[in-house]
Amino acid sequence: MDLPYTRIKGGVCAARNFHGNAVSCGIKDPSSKRLDLSLIYSTQECRSAGMFTQNRIKAAPVRISQSHLRAENIRAIITNSGNANACTGPNGMQDARNMTKETARLLKLKQREVAVCSTGVIGLPMPMMRIEPHYGSLVDGLDPKKGDQVAKAIITSDTHEKEFAISLEIGGKRVRIGGCAKGAGMINPNMATMLCYITTDAKVSQSCLESATEEAVENTFNRITIDGDTSTNDSVIVLSNGAADNKILRRGTKDCSNFTHALQFVMNKLAKAIVRDGERVTKFVTLEVKGARSHLDAKKIAQAVANSSLVKASWNGNDPNWGRIIHAVGYAGASIREELLNISYGTKIACEGGLQSSTNPEVLRNIVSKPEFSITIDLGLGEGHYRIYASDLSPEYVDFNRSEYAYWKQARQDGLV
């Protein structure tokens, strides 16, 4: 059993000695006041761990942050939204480097203690002339109560900010873990187009922090899909500053395992919030595959079903269309035996032994009509299982993603392209 967690306020600044701030630079839209540049900062030294996109096209800030993370002591993260700084060549690398350099200078840190993240349109040069005038006010305004400002500033097409924090007792001390995340589009394992920052005041050894981050990401952010498109900028960064003054959590101990579960609990809340707030999403579907010959087979099937346009369109249409699900099961490349396959919506069986069950289709239709439901695919072959959180595909998603051309127009107006 997990330890009891207490939900607390403060998001990514809920843990002691973490400050945040966000300002509006006009990167998202020069004519609006939307927050688009943010900073997270620990007033004391940190241990840090991170996981980044598996896309082979990596944005400049991903490369810079990965390199800085090698020193394992990141204690500030600067983020802009509205431009991904991806496919921007040596200039983009210089822009990302400058963002960490200026932040470090003002905070009196080493440059390698600062990570940088960007999210937004791919392929356009960074409008640095919009960002540069704001470093001073960004740093000056740092405050332990501004976690929500950071959460607001990192979002793009999300409809609302996503933050969550808990406290729990470990090693005789109350420690806090909090975070914020953004998602909305280009969401797919591994790792979804997303940014997530988690801070904790627990004192954690480097190896416990890394193993906990890896395990928690694998079970949360790597289990969600909205559109099947893995982005160039995905980043999860975890900072631990030890302000709780607990006995250090070391890998392999019960305490480290408890910390891992708590970290996963926070990440799971944020990961599910990303799916629920996917672009023009109307359904949150928990897809369970079990009885597979292997874990990998279960994963292949879960991903094929969760990414099938036709399956997702049927969810949007409240259609308990198990025929489309079984067709995606069939092309997933996993071992199956058609006559052993069961598919259930909620607790009601729709397909039994590969055939239409006797369940009244209206009963199934009522389940799929709800905004949240689960689907279980039982292959009846073995012990392999996998869970994924998926969304529907709506006509509105496609309409929403038809064009980003306005960004190009703005970039030309700015003389950037």
Catalytic residues: 193
Interacting residues of 36 by C-beta distance below 8 A, sequence separation 6+: 22, 24, 25, 26, 27, 28, 80, 81, 82, 153
Closest contact distance (angstroms) between CB of 331 and a copy of itself is: 4
Residue 244 in 3-state DSSP? coil
Smallest gap from Cβ 401 to a copy of itself, in A, equals 4
Minimal distance, residue 318 CB to a copy of itself, in Å: 7
- Shortest gap between Cβ of 136 and a copy of itself (angstroms)? 30
- Residue 87 Cβ vs a copy of itself, minimum distance, rounded to whole Å: 6
Cα separation, 241 vs 222, in Å, equals 26
Could you tell me if 387 and 339 are in contact, meaning their C-beta atoms sit under 8 angstroms apart?
A: no
d(CA 108, CA 38): 18
Task: Report yes or no: 204 and 164 within 8 Å, Cβ to Cβ.
Answer: no
| Cα angle 233, 48, 148; round to 5 | 65
> In the 8-state DSSP scheme, what is residue 263?
H
DSSP conformational letter for 204: B
> Hey, what are 52's tokens?
């980044």
Closer to a copy of itself by CB, 71 or 355: give it: 355
Residue number, 25 or 350, with CB nearest to a copy of itself:
350
CB distance 271 to 389 below 8 Å: yes
Task: Tell me: cis bond preceding 194? Omega within 30 of 0 counts.
Answer: no
CB of 221 to a copy of itself, least distance (A): 15
162-170/6-7 β-pairing: antiparallel
Nearer to a copy of itself, 171 or 278 (CB): 278
Binding residues for a copy of itself (CB under 8 A):
54-58, 84, 86-89, 121-125, 185-186, 227-232, 308-310, 313-314, 316-324, 326-331, 336, 338-339, 351, 353-356, 361, 365, 393-399, 401-405, 408-409, 412, 417
DSSP 328-344: HHHHSS----GGG-EEE
322-331 and 309-316 helices, crossing angle to 10°: 160
Structure-token pair, residue 268: 């799971």
Closer residue to a copy of itself in complex, CB, 148/297:
297
How many whole angstroms separate alpha carbon 93 and alpha carbon 66?
13
